């Protein structure tokens, strides 16, 4: 296997990597200088040619998204999604805390390409240290003339502001983020109109994820052909992968999207294998909302297409959670249902009621008072939720149902066996408490 040279994480272990001087000493802001000598259309076409797909979860091509902006617009805004609320994802956090100027440079290039006058970096409130690191980097960029009026002596000007979110999962959805930025309750908007037409403050708006924007300077610096030379044709460029759970080396790693889930777990330069005495039982490979894999499905490629062959929603944030063979899948089921029951904004009836009912049913099963028919009720409830059936404003219920559906379908034997083994008196006690 050819050795892969880190791109997005190339400065992670460099001393004082968060400072402007170190970033520039390693070639930083060269791509931004180059970009400002290009036309916005040239930048967009280069990003389209690179087939940079969004790293935030949906995998939508960034250049295509930029091209949706109305041609006759007079004011454009850029929102950087640094909310990163998908459990257990932390690749954006690593980028911000170790190489903040890479994000700022990507923001400058994206803002220029879309002719945005203001960029808002929406960062989750729990990122206390990362907020201050990023704010210092923004201040350094302003002091050097890389933000503000006439950047690099050009005619282009850009203001950049950090905005702290309020801890809501649904604000990871771009219109929920926009509502929160406007000072309102952070819940998604009905679409259309889409943000490219009417977004923040009713202006044409582009929303991009942190990792997506960090890829942009490298595309401009090295070219689209270099970027497409990494990974398969439909999943080009370097990608960050998180892994957590009972592995020897949990953390954030960078690789092309040719690696498999098994690689991520077992490779010595990644997960390093399972802890002594532990065996893989299941893996949530793309954050919890994408669904679950069994131990027999670890050869799934971590790209944008292969997950669908395994009944998953997609690659998601490429944050893998390893579950060992000592874990009771009833508890995993309840944990997933509890999270989404809490995080649903409540705007759509089927999501508000559906996630709540799934949580109640999963809790009853976990506490030893389940029924076999509860598994079918969970599946029926899941089928009647989400954007894909056309029943919700945003994709949160899709993300809420995929872990439930895949756990029930792939681990039904274990769940049924646990239900049949329940003590009748225990079930009566649990039901009396729950009711």
CATH number for the 329-434 domain, one of 3.30.70.1350, 1.20.1440.230, 3.30.470.20, 1.10.3470.10?
1.20.1440.230
Which pLDDT belongs to residue 58?
82
Task: Report the C-alpha gap between 404 and 320 in whole angstroms.
Answer: 17
Q: What is the CA radius of gyration of the chain?
A: 22
145 φψ region: left (φ > 0), alpha (ψ -120 to 50), beta (else): left
By residue count, the chain amounts to: 435
For residue 351, give the 3-state DSSP assignment.
helix
- At CA 374, angle to CA 370 and CA 375, rounded to 5? 110
List the structure tokens of 75: 């004011």
Query: Are the C-beta atoms of residues 353 and 276 closer than 8 Å to each other?
Result: no
Residue 56 has a pLDDT of 86
pLDDT of residue 432: 62
Distance CA 28, CA 20 (A): 8
Distance CA 320, CA 297 (A): 13
Strand partners, 161: 120
Locate tokens 């598994």: which residue? 375
Q: What sign results for the dihedral spanned by CA atoms 364, 370, 371, 372?
A: positive
Chain center to CA of 326? 28
> Which residue numbers in the chain have pLDDT < 50?
1
Beta bridge partners of 294: 282
User: In the chain, what is the straight-line distance between the N-terminal and C-terminal CA atoms, in Å?
Assistant: 58
Does residue 286 contact residue 236 with C-beta atoms inside 8 Å? Answer: no
The architecture in CATH of the region 20-228 reads 3-Layer(aba) Sandwich (3.40)
User: Cα separation of 411 and 330, whole Å?
Assistant: 9
Choose among 248, 334, 265: nearest CA to 302.
Answer: 265
Buried b (16+ CB within 10 A) or exposed e, 418-427: bbeebeeeeb
- Our CA dihedral for 380, 382, 383, 388, rounded to 10 degrees, sits at 170
Domain ranges of the chain: 20-228, 239-324, 329-434
CATH number given to 239-324: 3.10.20.600
Strands, DSSP E only, in 50-204? 77-82, 118-123, 159-164
The vertex-305 CA angle with 301 and 310, nearest 5°, equals 65
């Amino acid at each position: 296997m050819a050795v892969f040279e880190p791109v997005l994480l190339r400065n992670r272990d460099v001393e004082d990597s968060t400072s402007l001087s170190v970033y520039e000493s390693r070639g930083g802001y060269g791509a931004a200088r180059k970009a400002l000598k290009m036309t916005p259309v040239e930048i967009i076409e280069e990003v389209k040619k690179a087939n940079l797909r969004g790293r935030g979860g949906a995998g939508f091509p960034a250049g295509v998204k930029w091209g949706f902006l109305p041609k006759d617009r007079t004011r454009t805004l850029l929102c950087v999604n640094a909310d990163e609320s998908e459990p257990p994802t932390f690749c954006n956090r690593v980028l911000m805390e170790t190489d903040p100027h890479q994000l700022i440079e990507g923001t400058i290039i994206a803002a220029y390409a879309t002719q945005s006058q203001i960029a808002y970096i929406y960062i989750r409130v729990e990122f206390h240290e990362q907020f201050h690191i990023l704010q210092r980097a923004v201040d350094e960029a302003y002091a050097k003339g890389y933000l503000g009026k006439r950047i690099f002596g050009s005619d282009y000007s850009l203001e950049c502001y950090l905005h702290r979110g309020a801890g809501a999962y649904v604000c990871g959805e771009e219109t929920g983020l926009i509502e929160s930025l406007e000072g309102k309750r952070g819940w998604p908007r009905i679409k259309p109109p889409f943000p490219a037409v009417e977004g923040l403050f009713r202006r044409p708006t582009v929303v991009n994820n942190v990792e997506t924007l960090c890829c942009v300077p490298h595309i401009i610096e090295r070219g689209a052909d270099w970027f497409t030379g990494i990974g398969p044709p439909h999943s080009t460029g370097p990608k960050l992968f998180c892994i957590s759970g009972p592995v020897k080396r949990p953390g954030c790693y960078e690789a092309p999207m040719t690696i498999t889930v098994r690689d991520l777990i077992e490779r010595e330069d990644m997960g390093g294998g399972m802890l002594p005495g532990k065996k893989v039982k299941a893996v949530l490979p793309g954050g919890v909302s994408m669904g679950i894999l069994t131990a027999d499905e670890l050869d799934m490629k971590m790209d944008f297409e292969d997950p669908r062959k395994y009944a998953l929603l997609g690659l998601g944030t490429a944050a893998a959670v390893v579950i060992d063979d000592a874990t009771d899948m009833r508890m995993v089921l309840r944990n997933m249902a509890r999270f989404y029951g809490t995080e649903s904004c409540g705007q759509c009836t089927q999501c508000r009621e559906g996630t709540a009912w799934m949580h109640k049913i999963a809790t009853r099963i976990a506490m030893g008072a389940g029924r076999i028919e509860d598994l079918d009720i969970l599946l029926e409830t899941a089928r009647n939720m989400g954007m894909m059936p056309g029943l919700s404003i945003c994709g949160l219920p899709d993300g809420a149902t995929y872990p439930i559906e895949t756990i029930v379908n792939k681990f039904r034997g274990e769940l049924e066996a646990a239900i049949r083994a329940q003590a009748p008196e225990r079930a009566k006690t649990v039901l009396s408490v729950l009711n």
